[in-house]
Amino acid sequence: MISREPFPWKHFFMWVLLIASGLLTAYITFLGAVSVWVGLSNRHEDGFFMPILAGCLAILAVFWFFFRISRFLLSHMKEKGILDR
């Protein structure tokens, strides 16, 4: 008989989570960039710095979160578990 290796579900779902978190990061970064753009285009208004500040903080927070999640997922993909022989 030909023995086949089982499909590595853990590895597959970790990649799906990594891709999904990357797409979510790109979306929130886009929203932050639009917020910064709106703030810069309305410099003549009072409080124009608030959209700029909010956009920059959102971009920094989402990148920090993405790098932490990606490092966590990539380190767990290297491990061998009970199901992955």
Domain ranges in the chain are 19-78
* Euclidean distance between CA atoms 11 and 59, whole angstroms: 28
- The pLDDT of residue 9: 79
Nearest CA to 28 out of 68, 64, 55, 1 is that of 55
Report residues of the chain scoring pLDDT below 50: none
For helices 9-41 and 49-78, give the axis angle rounded to 10 degrees.
Answer: 170
pLDDT at 81: 59
pLDDT per position as a tens digit, 11-31: 889 899 999 999 999 999 999
pLDDT of residue 35: 97
pLDDT of residue 7: 72
